[in-house]
Structure 1
Amino acid sequence: MLDGLKNAARKASRDHALRGLLIDCKRLLSERGEANSVTIARDLVTRFAALPDDQQGSFFERLSRDFSPDPQAVLQSAQAYADEPNASNLVRLTHLAEPPRQELLRRINRLPGGTSSIVAMRRALLGRVAKQPELQALEADFLHLLSSWFNPGFLQLQRVDWNSPAQLLEQIIRHEAVHEIDGWDDLRRRLQPDRRCFAFFHPQLPDEPLIFVEVALLPAMPASIAPLIDKRAEPLRANQFKVAAFYSISNCQPGLKGVSLGNFLIKRVAEELKREMPQLKTFCTLSPIPGFARWLRAGALCEGLPKSRAERLDAARAVVLDACGQDLDRIASVAALRALVPDVMQALTRLAAFYLGVHAAANGGDPVARFHLDNGARLERLNPLADLSAKGVKQSFGMMVNYLYDLQKVESHHEQFTRGEVAQSRALASML
């Protein structure tokens, strides 16, 4: 009985906290609330952060339901605009169609530290949208506003080096998402003179990197990742720098998922490096292919292929399956991949060419490929046995890819990709 009373008391306390938070939201949107917005917004943010996880979910549900546009008012205004499409009616329709919660978020954003609070709120929201589709409109409002507040005109590009604040260096280690940084010695090597690290910052989050990219300065386009992240490797001399290879890009703010940052970052960094080192002639990546093994295991399907191409795809898949006795797990190890005869490795490479050169343009294509191709890069070269880490073997049977960033052609390549076409080198196109 005592436990039941305690549970009831806790529930009543949580319900009271949620009601208080919703009252703060309404106060903030009122005329009086606008005049006292900083104080009310601070209370609101504090109340939200103190809510338990299930109550945060309830708050999002109420925000989605109670702070939406009035359907009847929108309908009447839309009819008025349809009858008389003048500027006055359009302004009224636009005003009524905007959810009140967008203005609520704007007023929270005026609070010192408000931008960071909204990013944190969206992070909490994103974990729920898949299971609660009724929150999709609320998520769209967050994304709409954050995309405006974090557009490239507001972002500041900074180089990260060994003399950067320790707090920033710690965040680089923590947020590296592609090739794990093994402590301070590893980070120090990645910041030597033949390496570069650049990050985007926002004025409202001056101590929080949004996204960063790591670059290797090399004599030639790289064919494997191990030499680039070997913390014992000797730095190259500046007169050897001819290629800038982007080998890792990591997002630091989960609450900004879907906000375009990386595409602008790579182009800005390429332009910055070109100004610093005019001798650089090639800008490329050495990128993972995280969906390749999963696609191959699922049947290596490419829709809409001409008959001749479909036959080449099927033949390559048959060669690989025959070599592993119809069990792809048998080649999912470093020893097995190294032991593959040239014909089988060539077939595996051809399958990767189909995956990136055809399947990447389809919905559900490889996310890394879609990022670079939509960003205007060209599919340049496939590299077998390029990533023999456990992750690389599992995700792509050790395969990696170079994307080429021709700064004079990124716009045309981007347009090509929007039409469902993949810009690629002749060598890779000949494999299809």
Structure 2
Amino acid sequence: MLQSSFLTDLLATITNRTQQTAATRDARPIEELCKVLLSNIGDVSANTMVRSILHKYRHLDTDARMQFFRCLANDFDIDPDAVATLAQRYANTRSARDLAALTVQAEPRRQEILRRLNRLPGATADLVAMRCDLFDAIREDAALARIDLDFAHLFASWFNPGFLVLRRINWNSPANILEKIIAYEAVHAIDSWDALRLRLLPEDRQCFAYFHPSMPEEPLIFVEVALTSGIPGDIQSVLADDRDATPTDRMDTAVFYSISNCQAGLRGISFGNALIKHVVDDLSASLPQLKTFVTLSPIPGFRDWIDGVLADQSTPEADSLCAALNKTGQGDDKASEPLRRYIAHYLVHERRAKGDPMNAVARFHLGNGAIVHNVHACGDRSANGQRASYGVMVNYLYDPARIDRNIEDFTTTGTVATSRMISTLLKTPRTLTHKATR
């Protein structure tokens, strides 16, 4: 069996190299190859064509990629007049045949190009990278944004959470995966292998990542979890090098303290909701003593907002807030009660024009049914935490008994679920209002 497997792999390797060589020899422009790909060619010829297209694309310079995207946008777009005619016909007949014709005509041909490119093993990663290039191109030519509608539509299906694989990342995971965890960490930087070991090796620290079968060595998103006794209010205690590990019999809380998206080309494709629920289920099964599931989240955008509140203000309350902001790096959370009131207000009441919360992290967790549980004026004393948001942080609580109701209330009426602590903070009158960011 081993010999047979070896010979099979050897023949497959030779065949693959032959196909790749044939692909590199095709001298036709990439735009012409895309037209051929849409024609009625056999599977073997189609695979060779896909290899040629992807090979040529990888070697295009910036100007040539811009030309390629413009070709996709214009030459492989829908025919608006034909769509309008078929839409009117379907409006009159309501027949399945006319609906089918309308559906085909209403889909840009470039969408089928992307589908056919994805038939080749390993091509999914190429398309994710291609979308990154498209983002850059859109900044130069906004008309190319219509191509991204096709990418987003297809990626939402291809990366459906039902297709994803949850894997625990530990100190024994492959080195190439561990290197990517270090590189992709977006919340609390990992600056060495020793720092990574402290986040993965102790039993009270865990990490979980989603992978796609077509990209088995590329994490899509990962979450780092601290298993603690009680709910922590600052990230320094969670990440301290000299901390004592929490004994298993004292673990009662799972703290999601860092969630990092890894693939820029999958922007807008949401995995976080499914990931958190999946990890909660796994942890609940393996550690039934866990009763509380919370985050310890940063509050990006708060610094700009509070600067706008304090702009050109000179009152006792403004002076108190300024003093509290100056002390957030010192760790005296209780001395910052006036600041905590403004943090709570920002998360619960400050809204965008469309009516949802101003803070993006809040929108994510509240939309997934979480509760604003507690806020901390001195949550992150690091230089980066101070620079990003004056170091303030928040716990979002996931209570399984309330998640569905919270989602419904937030979705239908915009109601933000809060704990008793937050409700008390919000009842205290405030005299300052936002003016303009400095």
- Structure 1 residues 341 and 254: alpha-carbon distance in aligned structure 2, compared to 1, 3 A threshold: closer
Secondary structure of the residue aligned to 1:217 is: strand
Correspondence for 1:147? 156
Q: 1:191-214: CA deviations, max 9, x gaps? A: 110011000000000111111000
* 2:182 aligned with 1:158: no
Correspondence 1:109-128 to 2 at 5 A:
109-128=118-137
Match of 2:387 among 380, 383, 394: 394
Q: 1:254-290: CA deviations, max 9, x gaps? A: 1111101111101100110000011100000000001
Secondary structure of the residue aligned to 2:425 is: coil
* Displacement of 1:103: 0.5
* 2:222 aligned with 1:212: yes
Give, as a single letter, the amino acid of the residue that structure 1 aligns with 2:165: Q
Give, as a single letter, the amino acid of the residue that structure 2 aligns with 1:128: A
Correspondence for 1:352? 343
- Structure 1 residues 228 and 134: alpha-carbon distance in aligned structure 2, compared to 1, 3 A threshold: same
State how far apart, in whole Å, the 2-side matches of 1:37 and 1:298 are: 57
In 2, are the aligned partners of 1:219 and 1:241 still within 8 Å (CA)?
A: yes
State how far apart, in whole Å, the 2-side matches of 1:30 and 1:182 are: 51
* 2:319 aligned with 1:322: yes
Secondary structure of the residue aligned to 1:31 is: coil
Correspondence for 2:404? 411
In 2, are the aligned partners of 1:377 and 1:410 still within 8 Å (CA)?
A: yes
In 2, are the aligned partners of 1:161 and 1:197 still within 8 Å (CA)?
A: yes
Give, as a single letter, the amino acid of the residue that structure 2 aligns with 1:244: A
Q: 1:139-166: CA deviations, max 9, x gaps? A: 1110110010000110000101111111
Correspondence 1:2-401 to 2 at 5 A:
20-32=29-41, 36-191=45-200, 192-299=202-309, 319-323=316-320, 342=335, 345-359=336-350, 362-363=355-356, 365-401=358-394
> Taking every aligned residue pair, what percent have the same amino acid on both sides?
45
Q: Which runs of 5+ in 1 are unaligned?
A: 1-16, 302-314
* 2:424 aligned with 1:427: no
* Displacement of 1:119: 0.5
Q: Which runs of 5+ in 2 are unaligned?
A: 1-25, 427-438
- Structure 1 residues 169 and 42: alpha-carbon distance in aligned structure 2, compared to 1, 3 A threshold: same
Q: 1:328-357: CA deviations, max 9, x gaps? A: 6x8765577668994xx2221111111101
State how far apart, in whole Å, the 1-side matches of 2:27 and 2:82 are: 28
State how far apart, in whole Å, the 2-side matches of 1:128 and 1:348 are: 42
* Displacement of 1:32: 2.1
Correspondence for 1:10? none
In 2, are the aligned partners of 1:213 and 1:250 still within 8 Å (CA)?
A: yes
* Displacement of 1:66: 1.2
Give, as a single letter, the amino acid of the residue that structure 2 aligns with 1:409: R
In 1, are the aligned partners of 2:329 and 2:381 still within 8 Å (CA)?
A: no
- Structure 1 residues 273 and 87: alpha-carbon distance in aligned structure 2, compared to 1, 3 A threshold: same
* Displacement of 1:92: 1.0
Q: Could you state the TM-score of these two structures normalised by the residue count of structure 1?
A: 0.86
State how far apart, in whole Å, the 2-side matches of 1:24 and 1:300 are: 59
In 1, are the aligned partners of 2:331 and 2:381 still within 8 Å (CA)?
A: no
Give, as a single letter, the amino acid of the residue that structure 1 aligns with 2:367: D
Q: 1:394-423: CA deviations, max 9, x gaps? A: 222221100001123222212222231211
Deviates more, 1:20-29 or 1:419-428: 419-428
State how far apart, in whole Å, the 2-side matches of 1:59 and 1:334 are: 53
* Displacement of 1:368: 1.1
Q: 1:342-384: CA deviations, max 9, x gaps? A: 4xx2221111111101125745711111111111111100112
Q: 1:100-131: CA deviations, max 9, x gaps? A: 01100000000111111110111111233344
Q: Could you state the TM-score of these two structures normalised by the residue count of structure 2?
A: 0.85
* Displacement of 1:386: 1.1
Cα-Cα RMSD: 2.5
Give, as a single letter, the amino acid of the residue that structure 2 aligns with 1:410: I
Deviates more, 1:280-289 or 1:69-78: 69-78
In 1, are the aligned partners of 2:376 and 2:394 still within 8 Å (CA)?
A: yes
- Structure 1 residues 392 and 63: alpha-carbon distance in aligned structure 2, compared to 1, 3 A threshold: same
Give, as a single letter, the amino acid of the residue that structure 2 aligns with 1:252: C
* Displacement of 1:61: 1.7
State how far apart, in whole Å, the 1-side matches of 2:27 and 2:390 are: 50
Secondary structure of the residue aligned to 2:29 is: helix
State how far apart, in whole Å, the 2-side matches of 1:253 and 1:126 are: 13
State how far apart, in whole Å, the 2-side matches of 1:130 and 1:414 are: 35
Secondary structure of the residue aligned to 1:431 is: helix
Secondary structure of the residue aligned to 1:212 is: strand
State how far apart, in whole Å, the 2-side matches of 1:123 and 1:424 are: 38
Q: 1:27-59: CA deviations, max 9, x gaps? A: 111112766211111110111111111221221
